Amino acid sequence: MKMTKRILVPLFLAMFLLFAALPVFADSSSSADKERFIDSYGLLSESEANALESYLDRKSSELQFDIVVLVIGSIRDIDGYYSEYYGGDYQALADDWFDYKGYGMGSDYSGALLLYDVQADYRYLSTSGEGIKAVQVDGLKDAILSYFYRSDYKGAFTAFADYCEECVLDARSFHPGRKALISVGIGIVVAFIATGSMKSKLTSVKQQTQAANYVRDNSLEITESRDTYLYNHVSRTERSTSKSGGSHTSSSGRSHGGGGF
């Protein structure tokens, strides 16, 4: 019996350690297996592609936010399936590529994918999870279009990763609630300084507890009183009917943001 216990205890302990380690191995392998730069057109050289892939991997890992770049020659010439199914719908292609290729980190599948169609010179941004509110199309245009005008594609995709990092870190560190509290605090400090400055100038005025010093004897006589209605003002504000917040649902049922330019 003692011999059996001596065998079973180490065995159960080894099994426990093995199963406890499995989630760690699964997470690291799934993250490493992701191809974050897909260049089906051959837009970049091999050395440029490898350098960019490493950069996207590093930024994605540091942020826990998938940053993906997909380059295609044409939306109608990816392969037979995509050409027939999407028929020019960049939004559907970008969203589905992100969802069905296993991108997105965390429970909300946070990440952003930039799709670039070389022949059409068209870019589409698909965002998911945290990226829907953090990464916006207008800011992305300002960040990367100048690189495309110079045909510096590696620079453009690197700038895309940097823009995602900037947006995500800003959203995490300076959310609306904290911003409102800071604004209120600044207002209170400014008001305190202003009123303190005005009060310090009133050196010739002393506080009076009664109004007798300001009223002449027998100078106030009320002979008539009436209530007069002057005017009324009604203010109306249109109620917002938008509920989507700029997001839409992909074929997988997930929410995405983004847009093209």
pLDDT in tens, 33-73: 789 999 989 999 999 999 999 999 999 999 999 999 999 98
d(CA 9, CA 88): 62
> In Å, how far from its chain's centre is CA 199?
46
d(CA 257, CA 110): 11
Predicted pLDDT of residue 83: 55
Domain range 35-175+249-260, CATH class: alpha beta
Q: Among all chains, which residue has been given the structure tokens 């044409």?
A: 74
Inter-axis angle of helices 153-173 and 137-149, to 10 degrees? 160
Average pLDDT in the chain:
76
Predicted pLDDT of residue 239: 34
Predicted pLDDT of residue 16: 38
Predicted pLDDT of residue 194: 57
The answer to pTM > 0.85 is no
Predicted pLDDT of residue 23: 33
Element (H, E) at 80: helix 80-86
**Burial level of 105, CB count in 10 A (0-12/13-18/19+)?**
buried
Predicted pLDDT of residue 27: 38
Predicted pLDDT of residue 75: 76
d(CA 155, CA 162): 10
Element (H, E) at 232: none
d(CA 90, CA 260): 8
d(CA 45, CA 160): 19
Using 70 as the pLDDT threshold, list the residues of the chain that sit under it.
1-32, 76-87, 174-245
Predicted pLDDT of residue 193: 59
Predicted pLDDT of residue 244: 37
The Cβ-side half-sphere exposure at 69, using a 13 Å CA radius, reads: 29
